[in-house]
Structure 1
Amino acid sequence: MIDAEGYRLNVGIILSNDEGRVFWARRAGMRSWQFPQGGIKVDEDPDAAMFRELYEEVGLERQYVEIIARTKGWLRYQLPERFIRRRSYPLCIGQKQIWYILRLTGTDANIRLDCSERPEFDRWCWVDYWHPLSDVVYFKREVYRQALSELQRALQAGRPAGAQAVSDAGGTATRQIPVATEPSGPSSSQR
């Protein structure tokens, strides 16, 4: 779904493990790495879109994750001119996203990259919390910085501080989990 300003409505997913590392995945057939993300369909709320995308791209069902928090509002990025498809309608100039941070409650074995006809990713690993800022494509870097900063504060405080707590099954799912506080290198554990 594309809004009146030309932004595609989207959800972004930061999946964290118990060590505070985050899921980082390589796009299928490419050299670029990113967090799972995907569009919100017409008449779909962001929470439903997040769970659908989580399953389609990472193979995780809701029983294997816990929602910690989500961004308070939309975060936006614009596409570079060369990526804008001028002949498409409606014209999409970028994405506006609600970002979620989740904790994996299952195991690494629950992660499957083959749950859709055309898998989004072909490889994944756990990386330090700030690593994605040095590795994501340049035009997404600022929105990643905003999402990681806002959601990290919610995690560190154990309550929403600049992020909206999300209720899961009737209770607030905000938890304090360890996260890296400084950028560092990639993980050596790759799948």
Structure 2
Amino acid sequence: MIDVDGYRPNVGIVLLNADGRLFWARRINRDGWQFPQGGMRSDETPLEAMYRELEEETGLAPEHVEVVAATRGWLRYKLPQRYVRHHQHPTCIGQKQVWFLLKLVSDEASLRLDACDKPEFDIWRWVDFWYPAAHVVNFKRQVYERALRHFAPLVEGLCRVELGNAPPREDGDPTPDEPRHGWRAA
């Protein structure tokens, strides 16, 4: 489903643990790391799409999380020209997203990256709050920063941590925890 402006409706998920750290996962067979996200179906609300994507990409069900907040309206990013499929109609030039902040209320053992037939991620880790804004692919960076800026005051209140302002994108960024492999025996 692509809107008249060429944007695909999508949801993004910022998953928070009790320490104020965020779930960060690596795309299968790629070097790219990102938050869970995915397209909305034409018959879904953003909340319904978020729960579906959450389960498909992390194995978490609604009882494993608490919805803390969502961004208002759409946050948009354009795809680089090399990713635009000009031969498809309608042509998708980017994504428009509603972002959700979720708090993990279950044990992290509930996370299963192999919960669906075609897993999106192969490993994951917890990272400092501003880490994703500095390390996501460039074309998604502005949307990540906007979503995290929106959620930062809520996270500070929930987790009783001080996050400060978004850090500059430099090598001095915090180092994430060791990766965890997503494959668990069924």
Q: Above 0.5 in TM-score? A: yes
Q: How does 1:27-106 map to 2 (within 5 A)?
A: 27-106=27-106
User: Could you report, residue by residue, the CA deviation over 1:125-172 in whole angstroms, capped at 9, with x for unpaired residues?
Assistant: 00000000121000000000000001113344x5xxxxxxxxxxxxxx
- Partner letter of residue 112 of structure 2? R
| Secondary structure of the structure 2 residue equivalent to 1:51 | helix
The aligned counterpart of 1:11 is: 11
| Secondary structure of the structure 2 residue equivalent to 1:26 | strand
Offset at 1:82?
0.9
Q: Are the aligned partners of 2:20 and 2:155 in contact in 1 as well (CA < 8 Å)?
A: no
The aligned counterpart of 1:181 is: 164
The aligned counterpart of 1:171 is: none
Task: Please give the alpha-carbon distance, in whole angstroms, between the structure 1 residues aligned to 2:175 and 2:52.
Answer: 28
Task: Please give the alpha-carbon distance, in whole angstroms, between the structure 2 residues aligned to 1:186 and 1:23.
Answer: 14
Task: Please give the alpha-carbon distance, in whole angstroms, between the structure 1 residues aligned to 2:76 and 2:15.
Answer: 20
Q: How does 1:135-174 map to 2 (within 5 A)?
A: 135-156=135-156
User: Could you report, residue by residue, the CA deviation over 1:40-65 in whole angstroms, capped at 9, with x for unpaired residues?
Assistant: 00110000000000000000000000
- 1:112 correspondence with 2:112: yes
Q: Are the aligned partners of 2:65 and 2:105 in contact in 1 as well (CA < 8 Å)?
A: yes
Q: How does 1:113-128 map to 2 (within 5 A)?
A: 113-128=113-128
Task: Please give the alpha-carbon distance, in whole angstroms, between the structure 1 residues aligned to 2:53 and 2:122.
Answer: 16
TM-score by length of 2: 0.89
Task: Please give the alpha-carbon distance, in whole angstroms, between the structure 1 residues aligned to 2:124 and 2:160.
Answer: 21
Aligned length: 173
- Partner letter of residue 179 of structure 2? Q
Task: Please give the alpha-carbon distance, in whole angstroms, between the structure 2 residues aligned to 1:178 and 1:94.
Answer: 36
Structure 2 residue runs without a partner (length 5+)? 168-172, 181-186
Task: Please give the alpha-carbon distance, in whole angstroms, between the structure 1 residues aligned to 2:61 and 2:175.
Answer: 26
| Secondary structure of the structure 1 residue equivalent to 2:159 | coil
Once superposed, what is the RMSD of the aligned Cα atoms?
1.2
Runs of 4+ with deviation above 3 angstroms: none
Task: Please give the alpha-carbon distance, in whole angstroms, between the structure 1 residues aligned to 2:3 and 2:82.
Answer: 21
TM-score by length of 1: 0.87
Offset at 1:115?
1.1
Structure 1 residue runs without a partner (length 5+)? 159-175
Q: Are the aligned partners of 1:18 and 1:178 in contact in 2 as well (CA < 8 Å)?
A: no
Task: Please give the alpha-carbon distance, in whole angstroms, between the structure 1 residues aligned to 2:42 and 2:34.
Answer: 25
